[in-house]
Amino acid sequence: MKISACIIGLNEEQNIHDCLQSLKGIADEIIYVDSHSSDRTVAIVKKFTRKIFFRKFDNYVAQKNFAASKAKHDWILNLDCDERLSDELRASILALKKSTPEKTGYKFNRLTYYIYRFIRHSGWYPDDKVRLYDRRESQWQGDRVHEIINTPPQNTGKLHGDLLHYSFRSIDDHLKTIRNYSELAAQAMYARGRKVSLIGAFTRAFWVIIRKFFFEFSFLDGGAGIVITYYSAVATFTKYAKLYVLNKQNTAATGRTVR
């Protein structure tokens, strides 16, 4: 079993070296698709692979499937630039490579490092995701924001070890992500004909606080968990507020009245 590691990125010079370093001894080749970075990302990637492709970003599904299409091997290991394989996960993948896979896709837990600590509650863990798959059987699918590998549950296994996710280095990083993802999410909902009132946006945000605190035990993650709770609510309100505005703008442009 040979593995092609596929990674997409844009201006990831702070993350990409450690991501690629964690693939040593695991990936038989590395495919990197860049969305025309303006920093040192590509120069760093060149130290690990020559298989670098450039493609303007349109959405995550198309970008990741494009990367997989450039791979030499059928087994694809997909990582984001801010992710690394833990030692235990590396050992699990190495053991799988020496055997005959019984499944067509494998998922593993993702453990997120948020600002100053790993988060083991707040709805962020175990956060298991399929990241190793046979492209002959599966591919990425979804909307502009939420992409998944469509491996059937009965053909999906799970490997021991965590995928380490170094998500946000600062509050500003979190706010930038909220801005970008909320825009994509609002556009995706708008394209599906979704509508929401401002009261609905507030209600959804308030429910996020209740869910995070009382059902996902965010307080067990200390101050970081409280921060996550607040900004999760902000992200939800921002997403639905943008959807509300998109529908209002459409109404104004077409002259229709929305009740």
Would you say 156 and 103 are in contact if contact means Cβ atoms under 8 Å apart?
yes
Per-residue pLDDT of the chain (259 residues; tens, 9 = 90+): 999 999 999 999 999 999 999 999 999 999 999 999 999 999 999 999 999 999 999 889 999 999 999 999 999 999 999 999 999 999 999 999 999 999 999 999 999 999 999 999 999 999 999 999 999 999 999 876 778 999 999 999 999 999 999 989 899 999 999 999 999 999 999 999 999 999 999 999 999 999 999 999 999 999 999 999 999 999 999 999 999 999 999 999 887 554 4
In whole angstroms, what is the distance from residue 2 CA to residue 30 CA? Answer: 12
- The residue from 128, 143, 168 where one domain ends is 168
Let me know if residue 207 belongs to a domain. yes
Q: Domain boundary residue among 168, 200, 216?
A: 168
Are 191 and 244 within 8 A, CB to CB?
no
Does one domain contain both 36 and 70?
yes
Q: Which residues are CB-neighbours of 132 under 8 A, at least 6 positions away?
A: 3, 75, 76, 77, 78, 93, 96, 105, 106, 107, 108, 159
What CATH number corresponds to the domain at position 152?
A: 3.90.550.10
DSSP3 helix / strand / coil % (the chain, rounded to 5): 45, 25, 35
In a shared domain, residues 200 and 246: yes
- Whether 17 is in a domain gets the answer yes
Q: For the chain, what is the domain count?
A: 2
pTM: 0.89
Q: Is the same domain home to 156 and 215?
A: no
68: tokens are 């997989």
Residue 191 domain-assigned? yes
Find the domain containing 163 and state its range.
Answer: 3-168
Same domain, 147 and 247: no
